[in-house]
Amino acid sequence: MSQNTAQQNQSAQQQAKQPKSVLAGPYGHPFHPILITLPIGSWVASLVFDIIGLVSDDPEPYARAAWILIVIGLVGAVLAALFGFMDYLQLARGTTARKTATVHMVLNLGVTALFAISLVVRLTGDEDDVSIAGFVLSIVGLAALGLSGYLGGKLAYRYGVRVADEGTQREGFR
């Protein structure tokens, strides 16, 4: 690899560590990773309520709680996507990190669509019972979310996207 290519790679990597704007979170403290906990937690909890509702004598409160949690997750997903997109814009085109981030983003948009469809199915069906179709959509959505989460971890922990550089990290070990 030529020195010029190595410098371009280093520059692209350093750019990926910096926030696009202060709205994306300060250097070393991006907002996207903390925001993803809202949809993940809400959607996992909705599946738990579905399971409880399936075995309960009175599934209505669990079915209602599940769709409320899906709504909360959808709101959180939109917020996380906005902040994630700001981080995405910092990635140089043609890099492995950008390609990985594109797959991560597409998967998350698909997951969000699955949960939106699940919500519609639940609200147009019998609200007093757990929707089997909604339940299945949630399982598929969470499986895809797991794959997307793996890619998000790869972006942060392998490629160092929005992670402080090693010089900054060394400060914590002095």
Instruction: Give the mean pLDDT of 138-162.
Output: 94
Tell me, yes or no, whether 116 lies in a domain: yes
Give percent of the chain above pLDDT 70.
86
Residue with tokens 């140089």: 92
How far is the CA of 172 from the CAs of 61, 72, 164, in angstroms?
Answer: 48, 36, 11
When pLDDT is cut at 50, 70 and 90, the band that residue 14 belongs to is confident
Task: Tell me what pLDDT residue 108 has.
Answer: 98
76-128: pLDDT as tens digits: 999 999 999 998 998 999 999 999 999 999 999 999 999 999 999 999 988 77
Inter-helix orientation angle 132-153/60-88, to 10°: 30
pLDDT at 7 over 90: no
Q: Using alpha carbons, select from 114, 146, 161 the residue that is nearest to residue 40.
A: 146
Cβ atoms of residues 129 and 60 within 8 Å: yes
Tell me, yes or no, whether 63 lies in a domain: yes
pLDDT at 6 over 70: no
Tell me, yes or no, whether 1 lies in a domain: no
Tell me, yes or no, whether 20 lies in a domain: no
Q: Which domain holds residue 140?
A: 30-165
The one-letter amino acid code at 61 reads P
pLDDT at 134 over 90: yes
When pLDDT is cut at 50, 70 and 90, the band that residue 37 belongs to is very high
How many domains is the chain built from?
1
For every residue of the chain, DSSP letters joined together read: --HHHHHHHHHHHHHHHS-SSGGG-STT--SHHHHTHHHHHHHHHHHHHHHHHHH-S--HHHHHHHHHHHHHHHHHHHHHHHHHHHHHTTSPTTSHHHHHHHHHHHHHHHHHHHHHHHHHHHHHS-TTS--HHHHHHHHHHHHHHHHHHHHHHIIIIIS-TT---HHHHHGGG-
Higher-pLDDT residue of 17, 76: 76
Higher-pLDDT residue of 47, 170: 47
Tell me, yes or no, whether 74 lies in a domain: yes
Tell me, yes or no, whether 115 lies in a domain: yes
pLDDT at 26 over 70: no
Tell me, yes or no, whether 90 lies in a domain: yes
Task: Tell me what pLDDT residue 25 has.
Answer: 65
Tell me, yes or no, whether 139 lies in a domain: yes
Cβ count within 10 A of residue 142:
18
- For the CA atoms of 66, 69, 70, 74, what is the dihedral angle to 10 degrees? 180
Task: Tell me what pLDDT residue 13 has.
Answer: 74
Instruction: Give the mean pLDDT of 6-12.
Output: 63
